[in-house]
């Protein structure tokens, strides 16, 4: 059994070794300060501030480390869904081949498939974590959606991705996902129905009755890497830049999936409906233009927009299922209510009900 470092194990000597392995041959860390950051449901993050023996602008003095949640239910979920294993493998095997902005990884280790694991990543400060509850501006939404081209174009229909078993939705077969959604729908509505409009409740419930719902359909072609939880809380945003810059974290659910799921999931949850309605088609058109310019030439606009409408259901599974299998918190409840309302309204606005049996 591999002993995985705990938060207190990451001391001056440990960081000195990591920095030297990363190419900073003369780095000598003499002091470390740690504080918890973030609002993750499955993992716990800390920022480590490093004191160097000799200041060197080329050597990072702040790094972020991610560990499993302290909550037993969340830890069990992370193992069952292979979240911990998947994220470590993403940074080990895939991140360097992509063009999407992600933090540099300085260390990645896991005991089997978890729950014990640790990731040490570049600190993207002064970029700040997005706020799923508040939503974002159209400018940030545009930047986030265009960033997806750097994930999708390099992985578009890559056959070698099939060799990674942890990238495939077969970990949770579509039939099992449909059954899980149906099973958890009643407790979900019992907890949150008071905050949902009747038509929002109705379409969320109708998904459970529809085997034809795009949420429960196999990936097919085209396929590419899909983040799955592509939302503001999983982004580090520097809004001082024009356009804003976005770096993407929390790769615990990455898989081979449908290109438009991440696009629709983000715009449906990240923009308030009255803003989204005015800007979404323009953002999706620019995304499609960038995807084409990046070499994806077999995916026309008509197919793209149709798949985007189908993708409006992508957030239903995360909202209904995840809310019931992680630790319940006050902020978590507010987040899941917000996401449920926005995703339901998104599907209604796009008249995506036609895709339900």
Write out pLDDT tens, residues 58-77: 999 999 999 998 888 888 88
Q: Would you say residue 262 lies in a domain?
A: yes
pLDDT in tens, 249-295: 999 999 999 999 999 999 999 999 999 999 999 999 999 999 999 99
pLDDT in tens, 103-159: 999 999 999 998 999 999 999 989 999 999 999 999 999 999 999 999 999 999 999
- In this prediction, residue 152 carries a pLDDT of 98
- Provide the percentage of residues in the chain whose pLDDT is more than 70: 97
Beta bridge partners of 235: 248
Indicate if the pLDDT at residue 235 is higher than 60. Answer: yes
Q: Which CATH number is 11's domain given?
A: 3.30.200.20
Q: Which two tokens stand for residue 254?
A: 């990455």
- Report how far residue 256's alpha carbon sits from residue 166's, in angstroms, rounded to the nearest whole number: 9
Q: Looking at the structure, do residues 164 and 202 belong to the same domain, yes or no?
A: yes
Report the number of distinct structural domains present in the chain: 2
- In this prediction, residue 37 carries a pLDDT of 85
Give the range of the structural domain holding residue 338, as residue numbers without chain letter. Answer: 128-355
Q: Looking at the structure, do residues 275 and 138 belong to the same domain, yes or no?
A: yes
Q: Would you say residue 2 lies in a domain?
A: no
- In this prediction, residue 73 carries a pLDDT of 83
pLDDT in tens, 157-172: 999 998 999 998 544 5
- In this prediction, residue 28 carries a pLDDT of 95
- In this prediction, residue 39 carries a pLDDT of 58
Relative to beta strand 255-257, strand 235-238 is unpaired
Other CB atoms within a 10 A radius of the CB of residue 342 amount to: 23
- Domain end: 72, 89, 122, which one? 122
- In this prediction, residue 142 carries a pLDDT of 98
- Domain end: 95, 122, 149, which one? 122
Q: Mean pLDDT across the stretch 243-247?
A: 95
Q: Which two tokens stand for residue 101?
A: 């902005």
- In this prediction, residue 223 carries a pLDDT of 96
- Domain end: 69, 89, 122, which one? 122
Q: Looking at the structure, do residues 63 and 165 belong to the same domain, yes or no?
A: no
- Report how far residue 237's alpha carbon sits from residue 248's, in angstroms, rounded to the nearest whole number: 9
Mean pLDDT score across all residues of the chain: 93
- In this prediction, residue 160 carries a pLDDT of 94
The sign of the dihedral angle between the CA atoms of 209, 210, 214, 220 is positive
- Report how far residue 109's alpha carbon sits from residue 228's, in angstroms, rounded to the nearest whole number: 22
Answer whether 6's CB lies under 8 Å from 67's CB.
yes
Q: Looking at the structure, do residues 155 and 241 belong to the same domain, yes or no?
A: yes
pTM of the model: 0.92
Residues 6+ apart with CB under 8 A from 144: 136, 230, 232, 235, 246, 266, 270
């Amino acid at each position: 059994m591999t002993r995985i470092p705990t938060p207190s194990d990451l001391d001056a000597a440990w960081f000195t070794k990591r920095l030297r392995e990363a190419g900073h041959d003369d780095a000598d860390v003499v002091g470390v300060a740690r504080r918890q950051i973030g609002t993750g449901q499955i993992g716990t993050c800390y920022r480590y501030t490093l004191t160097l023996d000799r200041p060197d602008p080329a050597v990072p003095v702040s790094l972020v480390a991610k560990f499993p949640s302290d909550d037993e239910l969340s830890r069990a979920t992370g193992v069952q869904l292979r979240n911990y294993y998947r994220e470590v493998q993403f940074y080990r095997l895939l991140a360097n081949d992509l063009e999407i902005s992600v933090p540099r990884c300085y260390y990645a280790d896991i005991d089997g498939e978890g729950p014990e694991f640790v990731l040490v990543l570049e600190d993207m400060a002064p970029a700040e974590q997005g706020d799923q509850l508040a939503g974002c501006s159209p400018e940030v939404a545009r930047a986030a959606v265009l960033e997806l081209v750097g994930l999708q174009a390099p992985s578009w229909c890559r056959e070698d991705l099939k060799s990674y078993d942890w990238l495939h939705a077969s970990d949770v077969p579509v039939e099992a996902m449909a059954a899980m959604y149906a099973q958890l729908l009643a407790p979900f509505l019992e907890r949150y129905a008071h905050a949902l409009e009747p038509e929002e409740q109705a379409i969320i419930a109708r998904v459970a009755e529809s085997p034809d719902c795009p949420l429960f359909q196999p990936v097919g072609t085209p396929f590419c890497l899909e983040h799955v939880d592509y939302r503001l809380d999983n982004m580090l945003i520097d809004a001082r830049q024009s356009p804003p810059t976005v770096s993407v974290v929390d790769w615990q659910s990455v898989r081979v999936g449908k290109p438009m799921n991440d696009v629709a999931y983000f715009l449906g949850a990240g923009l308030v409906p009255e803003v989204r309605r005015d800007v979404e088609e323009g953002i999706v058109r620019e995304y499609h233009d960038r995807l084409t310019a990046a070499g994806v030439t077999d995916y026309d606009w008509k197919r793209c927009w149709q798949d985007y409408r189908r993708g409006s259901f992508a957030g239903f599974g995360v909202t209904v299922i995840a809310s019931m299998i992680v630790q319940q918190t006050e902020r978590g409840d507010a987040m899941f209510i917000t996401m449920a309302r926005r995703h339901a309204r998104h599907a209604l606005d796009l008249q995506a009900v036609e895709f339900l049996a």
